[in-house]
Amino acid sequence: MSTLLRLASVEAGYRDLVAVRDVSLEVRTGEVVALIGSNGAGKTTTLRAISGLLPVRRGRVEFDGDRIDGRPSSVIVGRGIAHVPEGRQLFPSLTVRENLELGSRDRRGRASALADVFALFPRLRERERQLAGTLSGGEQQMCAIGRGLMAQPRLLLLDEPSLGLAPVMVKLIFETLHAINARGTTILLVEQNVPRALALSHRAYVLENGRIVLDGPRETLQQSPHIRQAYLGL
């Protein structure tokens, strides 16, 4: 598989705070790659640096062989990267359909993209005229993921999709992410539910205190004593 996304010695942060330092990772076409770690480890910062929401202070971010750090986020989205942020960040006073349509970059392909999203999330079709602010947490997460998919991305960045959801909804969301990947979308997943993240992913990176401390195939990390003790409670 070819490398779709590559980070090389990336440093990023907020004002005087360096949140991630010397982060290098790669995501190959067709993979699900998990980025795991505790609160404050720098996972969200890493995603924001990739999508252009935070400047990269050092290092480089490459997408499909081209350097994208320093580019506006609108350009990065246009290249084929969609970012589903932590907390969903929907527009509560707009309908489900209106929120979804905001994610579309191409008016000509909007109807087809919307049909694909409704096929993945039938519940959104049932609620397409409902205000997003009145949805349950799980339905809002479906809408947030669907909005990202409306851009028909090659790479989907997902930040804590299971946050605050009931177990039955977490199961449904992860089953849908598996289906999204099976249809050809590459995924970089930030997730604190480490068992779920590892079960879904092909490979994973462990981020601690802003640095990558461990990486490998999921089977290797599932058996790692550090992972089992620190993240799986074993």
pLDDT tens figures, 121-170? 999 999 999 999 999 999 999 999 999 999 999 999 999 999 999 999 99
Alpha helices in the chain (DSSP H): 43-50, 73-79, 96-102, 110-120, 122-126, 137-149, 167-182, 194-200, 218-222, 225-230
- One domain, residues 137 and 169: no
- One domain, residues 49 and 159: yes
Show the CA angle centred on residue 23, arms to residues 43 and 81, nearest 5°: 60
Domain end (from 101, 132, 152) = 152
DSSP, collapsed to helix, strand or coil, labels residue 170 as: helix
In this structure, is residue 22 part of a structural domain? no
pTM of the model: 0.94
The answer to whether the CB of 124 falls within 8 A of the CB of 95 is no
* pLDDT score of 33 more than 90: yes
Domain with 216 in it:
27-54+71-80+153-234
Number of structural domains, the chain? 2
Domain end (from 137, 152, 167) = 152
Backbone angles phi, psi at 116, to 5 degrees: -65, -45
- One domain, residues 75 and 163: yes
